[in-house]
A and B are shown apart, each in its own frame.
Chain A
């Protein structure tokens, strides 16, 4: 008897879910057939280029648009700012020029720049320099909160460790820059191809400012070349693209240039902290005291105060924060907002108190798991990780490793948490009389593998191979889905598709039951057949034929509290590095991630998310940072040669272990995109400290910072 209840199958009954699958749009992506917004090339498309502010802070005193309009090939000019306007950071948009050919747009940009004059104003961009920032009124007190008595805890402690920790701002640096292609189809209707993580939500953002009915904005994003939290909005340059297209009476493609992408396309705020942590002789942490600061740009915020220290809630603490207002581009959500920075400035301090106690960092983390929300899961994950990296055998106390030719290795770990609740979303699932299955939703694939996830969900439901399901995404004309941010998509699409799928399946069961004279509640769907008590009754195709000449369809909704999705994951990471004490170079040897995410839909793609996160983590731990020039106020490494991301040979061996015992499976689907990028910075920093015996206080741990640390912190 099969009860009609919305649920996933038992873990061991799945034929598709939890298994390995090929990405169903993999061939399109690899062959170049997949069309991204920056690839849209309709007839007559004009190409836009941008003029931006080249100062940290300035006022526009002269600007000549008419000269630009006379340039051969230039068809339209849009001004974001005019004479008298203030520019508050390097890269702020001033104008966009659309022309027949990109090189002619460049001519227009040159002509505009020739007449563009600024009055340069005072700027402040040194986000690490709290004292100077406060002295010129750029600091904002973000509060203090306390629990227990941290002073008493410090007095009673066996060891007290005080340290300085920090993590610099990084940019989203999407490979496909932000932008769109806009084409008016009537005086009051526009087609937009936008590189967006928010297909269902951005049409209205065009409609309002353009004075259009929202129904007249057709928004498409079939593929997006990276977003990481920075592509939720139409953005002023998206609106400019639509306006240029209107003015020129031609389609326009406007993508940010690389430098502007890095400067204004989004960044993750920095965080710097002074921390004092204390512990008893057994390694139990008894008190935490911290003050941290950093910048999110002109608004002057930093990483969240009430999550410090990260994951652990100690009995006694005092924490405070200051936000610095800087002339830097504004922040956007970056994969797991706040978490990677909080982890990097707090779990490093935990590692340091372990060193001070003369204890293995692993033991101190283990000892304090009771102070975390999911201590039992972390403990098991740590055991798994320790085996994979051979912790017990390789571990040594900080700085006590064997040096070979100036190179010494070390181990470090850290742990993280994330919510990952399914976003609100709907879908339509359709079964055609010939048995073909389609799903429609205004969702998107930011690399998660959304199409494959939906295909697997419906394939499992109907007993079909995942390749039999046609998935339609990427249009705001499809049923509304949620934005892909915060690890909400896999739950956000699998829940509604499962619900709609089951509703349709039950209809088909009723038809099969009537036709073949079997009990509807004896039926299951598997292997492209409908079975009664395990015995084949008819094929899926025959069953679908019973619906008559018209397709049947159902709307799925979510999230619901029916157990299909949940929230809250744990994860631990362990790094093994080698540090060359003569050059300051850090090499990744091995990097382990043990991660849960509830029920896994496609094992291969889940692992890919984690591999990718580890590499992003290696990037911000070792090489990647926005470098602001104090003198000019400019973002001086806003290009891909100098904004250093790891290459294929820089990552060492990666090991991903999905933690999925039945107790996790039965929780339902939980998002996975964010968590594995969180602990990387702290884990790698702890491994470096373990290797060289001193803390490299600030991430990324460039060779210079490593050498400075080895030289006793001299700068």
Chain B
């Protein structure tokens, strides 16, 4: 069993990855998130954490651009993306990583931005949902979400878009079971699962996008 003894207050300045291992067991049937699995696998492979107190210079590579920020080591990636870089497509559901609305890709793998400290991502490539559109053209997953009306309030939608993109990157011909399993770490309160499933399946059936 993963160690769940750590406190779960926000931003208390320790490695947040361990939460994921605990959360998978507690959610509903299909909720053992792909993200969580990837996270667990990534454990130990990251950069060594040399933690000093006070703000330090941190260089993050987000959507192909470098940003140098003054951050405390305990600053959470989600907060930095949203508050410092104004990349608000990844949403703050404040759920300690159980909803997937904060899904981003780090080095091509889906990761929950609230599960990482910003300094852990130095030297890695971070992609947010904003990278899937350039103002004119949008990713086919986004077009599919709109086509199948896979949204209501839309708050969970960018996270689902990123998670769907990740499923299809991993297996462009993903089966219904794979889609359900890998999107199982995301929650929609409005109940848009029907449209999301249709969208993902349609793209997978034609061999990906």
Q: Does B130 contact A (CB under 8 A)?
A: yes
Q: Does A651 contact B (CB under 8 A)?
A: yes
Q: How far, in angstroms, from A503 to B62 measured CA to CA in the complex?
A: 51
Q: Does B1 contact A (CB under 8 A)?
A: no
Determine whether the beta carbon of A257 is less than 8 Å from that of B129: no
With a cutoff of 8 Å between Cβ atoms, the chain B residues found around residue A609 in the complex are: 152
In B157-209, the 8 Å CB interface with A consists of 157-158, 161, 179-181, 183-197
Q: How far, in angstroms, from A609 to B195 measured CA to CA in the complex?
A: 11
With a cutoff of 8 Å between Cβ atoms, the chain B residues found around residue A650 in the complex are: 28-30
Determine whether the beta carbon of A45 is less than 8 Å from that of B83: yes
Determine whether the beta carbon of B155 is less than 8 Å from that of A35: no
Determine whether the beta carbon of A647 is less than 8 Å from that of B28: yes
How many A-B pairs with Cβ below 8 Å? 223
A687 CB to nearest B CB, Å: 18
Q: How far, in angstroms, from A448 to B153 measured CA to CA in the complex?
A: 8
Determine whether the beta carbon of B28 is less than 8 Å from that of A31: no
Q: How far, in angstroms, from A31 to B76 measured CA to CA in the complex?
A: 22
Select which of A22, A445, A640, A654 is within 8 A of B187 by beta carbon. Answer: A640
In the complex formed, the residue of B with least CB distance to A624 is: B28
In the complex formed, the residue of B with least CB distance to A35 is: B88
In the complex formed, the residue of B with least CB distance to A637 is: B26
A35 CB to nearest B CB, Å: 7
In the complex formed, the residue of A with least CB distance to B79 is: A102
From known contacts A26-B146, A41-B82, A641-B26, infer whether A103 and B154 are also in contact, taking CB-CB under 8 Å. no
Q: How far, in angstroms, from A445 to B180 measured CA to CA in the complex?
A: 28
In the complex formed, the residue of B with least CB distance to A654 is: B194
Q: Does A623 contact B (CB under 8 A)?
A: yes
B31 CB to nearest A CB, Å: 5
Q: How far, in angstroms, from A39 to B128 measured CA to CA in the complex?
A: 15
Q: How far, in angstroms, from A448 to B190 measured CA to CA in the complex?
A: 10
In the complex formed, the residue of B with least CB distance to A22 is: B146
Query: In this complex, which of A28, A41, A261 has the most chain B Cβ atoms within 10 angstroms of its Cβ?
Result: A41
From known contacts A32-B129, A47-B83, A175-B189, infer whether A641 and B72 are also in contact, taking CB-CB under 8 Å. no
Determine whether the beta carbon of B99 is less than 8 Å from that of A175: yes
From known contacts A175-B99, A639-B95, infer whether A29 and B154 are also in contact, taking CB-CB under 8 Å. yes
Chain A interface residue number, banded: 35 or more
Query: In this complex, which of B184, B186, B188 has the most chain A Cβ atoms within 10 angstroms of its Cβ?
Result: B188
Determine whether the beta carbon of B91 is less than 8 Å from that of A26: no
From known contacts A30-B161, A176-B153, infer whether A651 and B193 are also in contact, taking CB-CB under 8 Å. yes
A605 CB to nearest B CB, Å: 6
Query: In this complex, which of B11, B96, B132, B180 has the most chain A Cβ atoms within 10 angstroms of its Cβ?
Result: B11
In the complex formed, the residue of A with least CB distance to B158 is: A32
From known contacts A101-B72, A612-B191, infer whether A29 and B157 are also in contact, taking CB-CB under 8 Å. yes
- The majority secondary structure among interface residues of chain A is loop
With a cutoff of 8 Å between Cβ atoms, the chain B residues found around residue A27 in the complex are: 133, 138, 142, 146
With a cutoff of 8 Å between Cβ atoms, the chain A residues found around residue B142 in the complex are: 27, 30-31
Q: How far, in angstroms, from A266 to B22 measured CA to CA in the complex?
A: 28
B129 CB to nearest A CB, Å: 4
Per-position 1/0 for A434-464, Cβ under 8 A of B: 0000000000011111000000000000000
- The majority secondary structure among interface residues of chain B is loop
Q: Does B119 contact A (CB under 8 A)?
A: no
Q: Does B86 contact A (CB under 8 A)?
A: yes
Determine whether the beta carbon of A614 is less than 8 Å from that of B191: yes
Q: How far, in angstroms, from A647 to B129 measured CA to CA in the complex?
A: 21
Q: Does B94 contact A (CB under 8 A)?
A: yes
Per-position 1/0 for A629-670, Cβ under 8 A of B: 000000000011110111111110010000000000000000
Q: How far, in angstroms, from A493 to B189 measured CA to CA in the complex?
A: 24
Q: Does B12 contact A (CB under 8 A)?
A: yes
With a cutoff of 8 Å between Cβ atoms, the chain A residues found around residue B138 in the complex are: 27, 30-31
Q: How far, in angstroms, from A22 to B147 measured CA to CA in the complex?
A: 6
With a cutoff of 8 Å between Cβ atoms, the chain A residues found around residue B47 in the complex are: none
With a cutoff of 8 Å between Cβ atoms, the chain B residues found around residue A224 in the complex are: 153
Query: In this complex, which of A38, A445, A642 has the most chain B Cβ atoms within 10 angstroms of its Cβ?
Result: A38
From known contacts A106-B12, A614-B191, A647-B28, infer whether A223 and B154 are also in contact, taking CB-CB under 8 Å. yes
Q: Does B9 contact A (CB under 8 A)?
A: yes
With a cutoff of 8 Å between Cβ atoms, the chain B residues found around residue A36 in the complex are: 88, 91, 155
Q: Does A255 contact B (CB under 8 A)?
A: yes
A43 CB to nearest B CB, Å: 10
With a cutoff of 8 Å between Cβ atoms, the chain B residues found around residue A49 in the complex are: 10
Determine whether the beta carbon of B191 is less than 8 Å from that of A642: no
Q: Does A613 contact B (CB under 8 A)?
A: yes
Q: Does B75 contact A (CB under 8 A)?
A: yes
Q: How far, in angstroms, from A102 to B82 measured CA to CA in the complex?
A: 11
Per-position 1/0 for A11-34, Cβ under 8 A of B: 000000000001101111111111
- A contact residues vs B (CB 8 Å cutoff): 22-23, 25-36, 38-39, 41, 45, 47, 49, 101-103, 106, 173-177, 223-228, 255, 257-258, 261, 445-449, 604-605, 607-609, 611-616, 623, 639-642, 644-651, 654
Known A-B contacts: A23-B146, A648-B184. Give 16 more (CB < 8 A): A26-B151, A30-B151, A31-B133, A32-B129, A32-B158, A36-B155, A101-B83, A103-B10, A224-B153, A225-B91, A447-B153, A608-B195, A613-B191, A615-B194, A640-B99, A649-B30
Return 5 A-B CB contacts under 8 Å, by A number. A25-B154, A38-B92, A604-B149, A608-B149, A641-B26
- B contact residues vs A (CB 8 Å cutoff): 9-13, 22-23, 26-31, 72, 74-76, 79, 82-83, 86-96, 98-99, 101, 128-130, 132-133, 138, 142, 145-147, 149-158, 161, 179-181, 183-197
